[in-house]
Amino acid sequence: MRPEDMRVSDADRARAARHLQWAQGEGLLDLGEYDTRSRDVWEARTRGELDRLVRDLPAVPARLPEPGARRRVFSDTGGGTAMRVLTIIFTTIAVVNLVAWGIVSITTGELLYPWFLWTGLPPLAALGVLYAFGIGRPRPGA
Which domain-ending residue is among 54, 69, 90?
Answer: 54
| Residue 137 located in a structural domain | no
- 29 and 20 in contact (C-beta within 8 Å)? yes
Q: Are residues 46 and 7 in the same domain?
A: yes
pTM of the model: 0.46
Mean pLDDT for 86-108 is: 90
Q: Are residues 85 and 48 in the same domain?
A: no
| Residue 8 located in a structural domain | yes
Q: Are residues 50 and 86 in the same domain?
A: no
Q: Does residue 20 or residue 82 have the better pLDDT?
A: 20
| Residue 49 located in a structural domain | yes
Number of domains observed in the structure of the chain: 2
Task: Specify the pLDDT at position 123.
Answer: 84
* Domain residue limits at 9: 3-54
| Residue 67 located in a structural domain | no
pLDDT digits (tens, 9 = 90+) for 52-65: 999 999 988 766 55
Task: Specify the pLDDT at position 4.
Answer: 85
Give Cα separations from 81 to 74, 84, 92, 120 (angstroms).
9, 5, 17, 21
| Residue 42 located in a structural domain | yes
Q: Which helix (H) or strand (E) holds 117?
A: helix 116-132
